[in-house]
Structure 1
Amino acid sequence: MKKMILTALLACSTIASAATIPTGIQTNVSNTQVANWGWTECSRTGANFAVSMASVLSACQGNYLAMGVWDASAGAYAVVGMGEWDVASKILYADHSGDNNGTTQNWSNGLNWYRTSTYGSWGFTTAKETALNTADTNLYNGFNNPGSNGKAETTLAAGLSFHVNNGNLTSGWAFNATGSDFTEMTAQDQRVFWVANVAAIPEPTSIALFGLGALALVRRRNRK
């Protein structure tokens, strides 16, 4: 009985530590931090190399998806965002012409995710309103110049956006780590994706109650 209880408690501990999912945008992230989070890298391509979104998603199977940009000049991931796989990979429109004036709402883990299938962009932002045309539309400092396909947003929008052309991620992408730090990618930078399978994590109260119940059973058995 004691062995069974110990095994169950260890299982709860293992589930709880399966992977860490920091909320919102993470900046200046090292490889060590990513490793400590427990995520598995599943796709990495250079800024000027094309890769199909289908191949990325095929390689990145799990219930949480993360995407980020490796900033070669800083030697770190400038921006990383994590969200539920179904939300982060969801196709909102065929292309940017159907962006509904930038009113898309597709939230997970504190981020507003967007993706187009043919031409537009794939990424995330902290803004409450998104536009789906070119890769940098959602990242201009304060949305001061979103172009004809986006609706002006008065708050600063941090995030990351990869350019989409005919279902492929291609050159032409950018990030904004703070909302006022718009940066375009260079040839040395890289697009990176990670994946994680995250089980339901028992609340601390539930684990405590389980432990008390298990101890009560042991005492009862010992009395007998």
Structure 2
Amino acid sequence: MRTPHTALAAAITMSLLASTAHAGVIPFGIQTNVSTDTVASWGWTECYRSNATSAHLIRPVLDACTGGDYMAMGLWDASLGAYGVIGMGETSAVSRITYVDHTGDDTGTVQNWSNGLNWYRTSGSGGWGFTTAAETALSIGVERNLMDGFGNASTAGTPETTLARGLFFSTGSLGVLGGSIQYNPTGNNRTGVATGDQRVFWTYSSNPQAVPEPSALALIGLVLGGVCLSRRKASSQG
């Protein structure tokens, strides 16, 4: 039979366990000049990192990073000592193939929005990235999605009407991430990849399993210890 002491202990324990679940942070839109401490505070899990100046297969990235609800990609800018740009979105949107390749796919505009960013990816030669602009029409220079300033037209002749901020990773016909990377943090500051830069991916699940912190576990132990001591006193007095 549950006594008032054990009922109270159970309620306190459940409350402490519930409080140990930490909610991650999903910053909206493009994030620029981000420190490693800030990224750590978001509570995401880094799932893949590679040298930005060399080619790497896309498949290992997808295998390692598409298990969560959300996915992020960013560029570590060695010259800044920080992440030059990071974007986060629902995994289904980030990993979705929106173009076959850059050839002949530049007459349309993809709308693949998630978390304030328009994501695009080609299955063949082209690019994988995100932009804050609605125009994602591809051409041979896929990074046209990140052209500086207003009025720059794609091959299809569609001028930008908003500053195109974002990140671009080149992709190859054999399913590789190439060595060409560009990012534009302001819309007027397109920057290319340099030695020491790194591609980085993260993943996040919106409902992670709660894991009690050591302090919470210690407090639970004190509560249960107090219940046991109370029981012993009650038994000795009876």
Offset at 1:75?
0.3
Q: 3-state SS of the aligned residue for 1:192?
A: strand
Task: Indicate the residue corresponding to 1:24 in structure 2.
Answer: 29
Q: Give a deviation string over 1:94-119, Cα, whole Å, max 9, x none.
A: 11235352411001111110000101
Does the aligned pair in 2 maintain the 1:135–1:172 contact within 8 Å? no
Task: Indicate the residue corresponding to 1:155 in structure 2.
Answer: 162
Distance, in Å, in 2 between the alignment partners of 1:33 and 1:150 is: 40
Task: Indicate the residue corresponding to 1:169 in structure 2.
Answer: 177
Does the aligned pair in 2 maintain the 1:82–1:109 contact within 8 Å? yes
Task: Indicate the residue corresponding to 1:198 in structure 2.
Answer: 206
Q: TM-score, normalised by structure 2?
A: 0.76
Task: Indicate the residue corresponding to 2:101 in structure 1.
Answer: 95
**More strand per residue:** 1
Mapped pair 1:54 → 2:59: yes
Distance, in Å, in 2 between the alignment partners of 1:23 and 1:119 is: 29
Mapped pair 1:183 → 2:191: yes
Instruction: Show the 5 A alignment for 1:61-140.
Output: 61-99=67-105, 101-133=107-139, 134-140=141-147
Structure number with greater Rg is: 2
Does the aligned pair in 2 maintain the 1:110–1:126 contact within 8 Å? yes
Number of aligned residues: 199
- The RMSD of aligned alpha carbons is 2.0
Distance, in Å, in 1 between the alignment partners of 2:13 and 2:149 is: 52
Q: TM-score, normalised by structure 1?
A: 0.81
Does the aligned pair in 2 maintain the 1:66–1:82 contact within 8 Å? yes
Offset at 1:5?
4.1
Aligned with 2:48 (options 36, 43, 52): 43
Does the aligned pair in 1 maintain the 2:169–2:180 contact within 8 Å? yes
* Cα distance, 1:132–1:11 mapped onto 2, change above 3 Å: farther
